[in-house]
Structure 1
Amino acid sequence: MLPEENGTEEMNMFELKLSDFLLSDTVRALHASINEEWDSLQLSACQTAAGRALWKHIIHDPVADILAGEKYLRNLHEKIKKDKLSNAREISGVILAVRTLWFDSNIESALNSFNCGENQVVLLGAGMDARTYRLSCLKESNVFEVDFPKLLQMKATLLQAAAGFNNENQKLTLKAKSVTRVAADIRDDDWLEKLQKSGFIPGRKTVWVLEGILYYLSHIDAVQVLKTIAADCTLTHTVLLADFMNKSSTTLSHSTFHFYSDWPDHLLPTLGFSDVKVSQIGDPDAHFGLMHDPLNLFNRLRNLPRSIQTHPDDGTPCCRLYLVKASGFPQQTIP
């Protein structure tokens, strides 16, 4: 195959096809209100959905495009085209793709470690996540999605419209045993109380998922959320899945990113977790066939000690994203 033919084939994988439903007046009006009323944190949910929609050759999300909206799909598609034309070592959205696949695979392995029985999966800062419609491993799980009231309401409205749209190729089927949306701000003291009032049962085996959310919180709020989850370890087998930025990564946006941890494997045991495993994008369990180039940003960082904050080759900040799996059992928690 000629190089230009291979490039064409790769661009076809990222082809942007906007469905009639996505372009309908109903959906466009809903996303117009999103773009006018939501803040940057809430809008990041649409950006995440756009990434999953355009990396559809490895992430099979039936409603990601509807949840993303036309604006964010077109914006990311333009970035991908520019990256391909310039032969960029990292294609826009690849971090999101790897992160999504890592969380998917670790949710499944965590549920398998529970050895059957009823369990719960809590998505904190769930955003436009649609795992309950695409992950078969959730078939025995009661899933709770926690996020801002207006975000969850808009998400429910979009999903309801999608479910009623007559398109057999995009049939919407719930894969989880159940899904409950909990309107709460995890920066507030009462989010756990609201979760419990919605049916969450303390003491039942639980996977807590914090994907793309911790670094938007203040240090005090982030640690408090982690402590609240760690308290569950004193009751039952508990698994935490989360991504952490290091300090250098927060410099990407001083106004947006706040919480960081250069050593989450040191922090989490002090809060009550055990068996902490930290991965970086490009590691064997965080690769998924997308990190072949040894000179891409992520592989270059993996070859440096985690303590180094600036790259010795060019002086740029070593911006790292840690993918962390931690667990706890009643008999293993720290007093």
Structure 2
Amino acid sequence: MSSQGTCLPDDSMWQEFKLPELLFSDAIKQQHATIENEWDSLRRSACQTAAARALWKHAIHDPFAELLAGETYLRSLYEKIKNDRLNNAREISGVILAVRTLWFDTKLEAALNSFKSKESQLVLLGAGMDMRAYRLSCLRESDVFEIDFPEVLQKKTNILQAALDSSKDHQTTKVMAKSLTKVAADVRDDDWFKKLQMAGFVPQKNTVWILEGILYYLSHSQAMQVLKIIADSCALAHTVLLADFMNESSTTLSSSIFHFYSDWPDQLLPSLGFTHVALSQLGDPDAHFGLMNDPLSLFNKLRRLPRTVQTNPDDGTPCCRLYLVQASGSPKHTTS
């Protein structure tokens, strides 16, 4: 992360809103028109995440985030950010997604460095518009697998290809990882892990699993099945899980979209077989990146309240928390 990512930008940073010319090419406009007309809220969340990465570019280097987000989501988030700045809001829209991205990036690199063998695997469940395989140099020795709905994977491929066709710089879409394999599968189904193995995933190889912005869209049984499959891999190889969890109060933000929650993921994961679990909240020392320094922000207020408190005593609102969790296990620590 650059030194620019250690502080909030001034107002002039947010005023520099200029969409890239490529976004208005017929090929890319057509791709985003399909997203607008055919995708549901779960699939569209991939574009919303990309928009946050694009507009928080002072902290995150993701050169294709604008093209993958699309005009609709970029303009929508920019307007929210502009209003937040005008109203002197303590939390600027998109900051949660920015911090979440940086947390996953940082923990991923640390996990890869912890492996004794340089050769490793990264699995991105619900990869969406994720570009880590293209932008993170720490993946040079890693085989990356992106799992998502076939139409989401194809849409990202189409947008990147359209950008490549329209650009003179053919290095812009170069994969930085050792390899990148796209696996068309729905993690809500029983066969996603089989499809992953058929695509070349090796259960005996050290692996990092990233579940960013996906678990709470699943039902309880679906999420538990996914977590159990990953936990079982600890018996075969050094396995690191990086995931974000909503608490129960957070699911009330949209009861029709969010389903799975865990108020105590640091207790849940050991019960499944992980031997080392660390939990962070937004604003913690490893989860703010200079973007959440205001001690009176909502996130810092929540950190000071016991996790058992469900209602904020200041204003009676639900204590909506997002937990960033790292869990790991390896064969030598696995008990039968």
Q: Distance in 1 between matches of 2:331 and 2:276?
A: 13
Q: TM-score, normalised by structure 1?
A: 0.96
Aligned residues of 2:279 and 2:325 also touching (Cα < 8 A) = yes
Over 3 Å counting, the alpha-carbon distance change for 1:8 and 1:120 in structure 2 is: closer
How many Å apart are 1:163 and its aligned residue? Answer: 2.3
**Counterpart for residue 203 of structure 1:** 204
1:145: which partner in 2?
Answer: 146
Which residue of structure 1 aligns with residue 288 of structure 2?
A: 287
In angstroms, what is the RMSD of aligned CA positions? 1.5
1:169-202 Cα deviation digits (max 9, x unpaired): 9822211111100000001000000000001011
Please name the residue that 2:276 is paired with: 275
TM-score scaled by length of structure 2: 0.95
**What are the ranges of 5 or more consecutive residues in structure 1 without an aligned counterpart?**
1-6
Offset from partner CA, 1:209-248 (integer Å, 9 cap, x none): 0000000000000000000001100001000000000000
Q: How far did 1:139 drift? A: 0.6
Residue pair 1:121, 1:144 contacting (<8 A) in 2 also = yes
In structure 2, C-alpha distance between the alignment counterparts of 1:264 and 1:107, rounded to whole Å:
19
> Whole-Å Cα distance in 1 between the matches of residues 226 and 108 of structure 2?
19
Letter in 2 for 1:211: E
Which residue of 2 is the match for residue 35 of structure 1?
Answer: 36
Distance 1:16 1:170 in 2: 25
Q: Could you tell me how far apart the structure 1 residues matched to 2:171 and 2:26 are?
A: 19
1:171 aligned partner: 172
User: Which residue of structure 2 aligns with residue 192 of structure 1?
Assistant: 193
Q: 2:317 matched to which residue of 1?
A: 316
Cα distance in 2 between the residues matched to 1:213 and 1:19: 29
- Between the aligned residues of both structures, percent identity stands at 67
Residue 23 (structure 2) pairs with residue 22 (structure 1): yes
- C-alpha contact (below 8 Å) 1:144/1:182 kept by paired residues: yes
Equivalent pair of 2:145/2:180 in contact (CA under 8 Å):
yes
Write the distance in 1 (CA, Å) between the matches of 2:152 and 2:65. Answer: 15
Q: Deviations over 1:142-193 (max 9, x none)?
A: 0000000111111111111222322549822211111100000001000000
Q: Where does 1:114-263 land on structure 2 (aligned, <5 Å)?
A: 114-168=115-169, 171-263=172-264
Q: Which runs of 5+ in 2 are unaligned?
A: 1-7
When the two structures are aligned, how many residues end up with a matched partner?
329
Which contiguous aligned blocks of 4+ residues in structure 1 show a shift greater than 3 angstroms?
A: 167-170
Aligned equivalent of 1:4: none
State the distance in 1 between where 2:104 and 2:335 align: 26
Hey, what does 1:307 align to over in structure 2?
308
Aligned to 1:106: 107
Matches of 2:178 and 2:44 in 1, distance apart?
28
In structure 2, C-alpha distance between the alignment counterparts of 1:9 and 1:203, rounded to whole Å: 48
Q: Is the CA contact (8 Å cut-off) linking 2:144 and 2:179 kept in structure 1?
A: yes
Structure 2 CA distance, aligned partners of 1:276 and 1:8?
33
1-structure distance, mates of 2:132, 2:88: 32
CA contact (8 A) 1:143 1:177 kept: yes
Aligned AA (1:146): I
Equivalent pair of 1:146/1:181 in contact (CA under 8 Å)? yes
CA-CA distance at 1:292 after TM superposition: 1.2
Q: 1:8: how far off?
A: 9.2
